[in-house]
Structure 1
Amino acid sequence: MALLLRLGVRHQRTDEIARTSSDKETRSLAPIFDEERGVARKQVSSIHDHPDITLETLQSLMLANDVTQLLVKELAPNDNSKNQPYVSKGNLDALNILPAGEFETDSKHNTLKAALDFRWLQSNGSISLAPQAKLIFYPQYPEVRLSGFLKGAKNAPNYLMNTRAEGRLLFLGVTTDRRIIGWAAGPDSSLAHAYVSLKTPEKLGVFTLVPLVGGRVGLSTRSLLIQELRRIHLLDWIDSKALARDGSVVSCVSAHCVGYTLEAELGVARNGISEPDFKGWEVKATTVKKLDGKPSAKPVTLMTPEPTGGLYRTLGVADFVRRFGYPDKKGRPDRKNFGGNFFAGIRHTNTKLTLALNGYDADKREIIDTSGSLALLTDNDDVAAEWSFASLMSLWNRKHAQAVYVPAEMRKAPSLQYRYGGAVRIAEGTDFVRLLQAISARTVYYDPGIKLENESTKSARTKRRSQFRIRSRELASLYSKVEQITLLGF
């Protein structure tokens, strides 16, 4: 927290530095070129023209806009609209912290870009869309940078985000529906003073987490999560249920009830907008035969993406299975399957296809071609099916940088019930490169379940399921840190 110390020293002589900074920044009021807008504009008089609000006001305004997680980045002098503030350096963890749209490949510059639903908060609580805001991934560094956040936005903090003044702060509120609400603060603002006074700040990548309630003192989100899981563990058997969007509790009888029941206890409503979430943590529950504290041997499904290219797309699913599938192993007539476990670099016996990573250097742990893909190849190197890096990155962006894995037992009598284990795994720090490395190391594998029934008839029917999985005990390969926590001893 070197910047905090510098800010603390600076506050001892606030007026002097404010005058010096203001003098330097406002010496000329001649029109300057606006890099974001591409036009000449008149220079704003000083940093101090930006509205000054308190931390309590910011928290209230963010909550009123459905923000569930408030992040702040300390801006360096070169963090401005021209140079694009970095939000990840040396890794891609920002892609699992900031929600983004679909990634697209810019082959000319060898980058990947994704639009952001970014709005600038106004002092009256309204928000102003920044229509050109985006994240850009530069694989050669690697870095993720924020771009276009001023262009086309009304009442954006242009001066603050164009100046090189040290000590500026960029607040980013993340909502449940994947919007980002921004606010910028100057080095001598009320928010800067309050930020320095925060006790035991919690870090998340390059960001600091700011509590949305209480402001100065409180438990970290990690501690709050563990506290809640301990409470749920002590409840013992819980009737299977789910929390509806309107806040009502409904019964649950599906295969996903182990997760829905846990989420309902955590106050997380079932919805299709985002991953299950508790204060920024992804919550994953799996059933086990015995709650003995040992990691389950069962595989964990990471994502279920349909291929984006190859013969799977051009031929269609039915003809793809006819060409690469095999007769049903259980002898069911007029049926072909396409399944099994596909590991990188190993030819699959039944389908004669090989899973290959194109555009990724496993030795250097680097993406060398952003137009690369994960592909199933024939012996002649024809692409049977493929998933572009851009499409996989878009899916991985929906996974949180922090996750908790909770084991549970199930019983069906007297009714469907679950009880959750007293030992959980806390995982922190994932990014897309870790996923690619795990695929290369064969810890993450492709496990499809695609079938073609009534193959010889006009009423042939397909069922598709493309999924990538990992053995539960190997989850650590996807994170920078995995720790087993005994809830009663915390």
Structure 2
Amino acid sequence: MRRVHGLGWIDSKQLDSDGQLKPCTAPQCGGFTLEAELGIAKNSSGEPDFLGWEVKQFAVEDFERIESAKPITMMTPEPDGGFYKDADVASFIRKFGYADKNDKPDRLNFGGRHVVGQRCPPTGLTMQLVGFNAATGKITDANGEIALVSDADEVAASWSFKKILEHWAHKHAKAVYVPSKRQTEPNWQYAYGHKVRLAQGTDSLRLLRAFASGAMYYDPGIKLENASTQKAKAKKRSQFRVASKNIGALYETVETVAV
């Protein structure tokens, strides 16, 4: 990380699985650019990124103040239950989504911060932890799930504990959180900070307690373009996020170190 920090502003890029570097101009390119510098190809592997460590980039305004309220996307698993799984993404968006708030024509979105126990106004769904007792911090049903539930008690989408917890405990046992800044002029570029946060010692119960407390939440970016036509195109983006300042809720230890 010392070498990457010393490079200053780096042209935004991604390293494809075939070893080719390509330009990148999307919101998630801060992570792709960092991974490319570390020799990590763009992928959705369930393995940690680098030498047993999961590498996470997050945006900041000041490299001296890296514990911010800005969100970090922790994982992006697709639901494995509910209407989302039983139907298709386009049908899900049409049923639970809403017209684009920026008046983009013929576009439906499904987004908004979904916190356990709180109804999300844009979607009308409430996230629930089914099979977890928040008071005791214990799992009461191994077949439980994280569910988005409508006012009519329909499960719109769900993630089984088995899917979420196995992924989390294996991939995120050790993680390094790297602050970044972005500039788009004269070129789309990223710079990475001189301090990083090393997080270790997580487990399934810590993750579920973070959901129960509201530290971890669901904040999707799912959309359906040309929604009224036969050429409607859906984009999937399920993502679970946490504010940078709250990552301590997920780990036994979090240490800030200079590189």
* TM-score normalised over the length of structure 1: 0.48
Give the corresponding residue for 1:362: 134
Instruction: Determine if the alignment matches structure 1 residue 466 to structure 2 residue 238.
Output: yes
- Written as runs of structure 1 = structure 2, the 5 A alignment for 1:112-127 is none
Give the corresponding residue for 2:41: 270
Give the corresponding residue for 1:165: none
The correspondence for 2:21, drawn from 239, 245, 250, is: 250
Structure 1 SS opposite 2:190: strand
How many angstroms apart in 2 are the aligned matches of 1:329 and 1:260?
A: 28
Tell me if structure 1 keeps the 8 A contact 2:57–2:178.
yes
- Counterpart amino acid of residue 293 in structure 1: R
Counterparts in 2 of 1:234 and 1:355: CA distance versus 1, 3 Å: same
The correspondence for 1:405, drawn from 177, 182, 187, is: 177
How many angstroms apart in 2 are the aligned matches of 1:235 and 1:316?
A: 44
Instruction: Determine if the alignment matches structure 1 residue 338 to structure 2 residue 110.
Output: yes
Give the number of equivalent residue pairs.
Answer: 257
How many angstroms apart in 2 are the aligned matches of 1:277 and 1:307?
A: 23
Alpha-carbon shift at residue 364 of structure 1 (Å): 1.5
Deviations 1:297-336 (A, max 9, x none): 3211111122111122223222222222222222334333
* TM-score normalised over the length of structure 2: 0.85
Give the corresponding residue for 2:252: 480
How many angstroms apart in 2 are the aligned matches of 1:412 and 1:456?
A: 34
- Written as runs of structure 1 = structure 2, the 5 A alignment for 1:63-102 is none
Deviations 1:384-412 (A, max 9, x none): 21111111123324423111111123345
Deviations 1:4-58 (A, max 9, x none): xxxxxxxxxxxxxxxxxxxxxxxxxxxxxxxxxxxxxxxxxxxxxxxxxxxxxxx
How many angstroms apart in 2 are the aligned matches of 1:472 and 1:400?
A: 15
**Which stretches in structure 1 are left out of the alignment for 5+ residues?**
1-228
- Written as runs of structure 1 = structure 2, the 5 A alignment for 1:222-261 is 229-240=1-12, 250=21, 252-255=23-26, 256-261=28-33
The correspondence for 1:390, drawn from 162, 172, 178, is: 162
Tell me if structure 2 keeps the 8 A contact 1:334–1:453.
yes
The correspondence for 2:203, drawn from 431, 450, 462, is: 431
Deviates more, 1:377-386 or 1:422-431: 377-386
How many angstroms apart in 2 are the aligned matches of 1:260 and 1:350?
A: 30
Tell me if structure 2 keeps the 8 A contact 1:293–1:422.
no
Q: Which has the higher contact order (CA 8 A, sep 6+)?
A: 2
Q: What percentage of residue pairs aligned between the two structures are identical?
A: 50
- Counterpart amino acid of residue 359 in structure 1: G
Tell me if structure 2 keeps the 8 A contact 1:293–1:421.
no
Counterparts in 2 of 1:236 and 1:353: CA distance versus 1, 3 Å: closer
Structure with larger Rg: 1
The correspondence for 2:79, drawn from 307, 317, 337, is: 307
How many angstroms apart in 2 are the aligned matches of 1:339 and 1:241?
A: 27
Give the corresponding residue for 1:381: 153
- Counterpart amino acid of residue 153 in structure 2: D
Tell me if structure 1 keeps the 8 A contact 2:48–2:172.
no
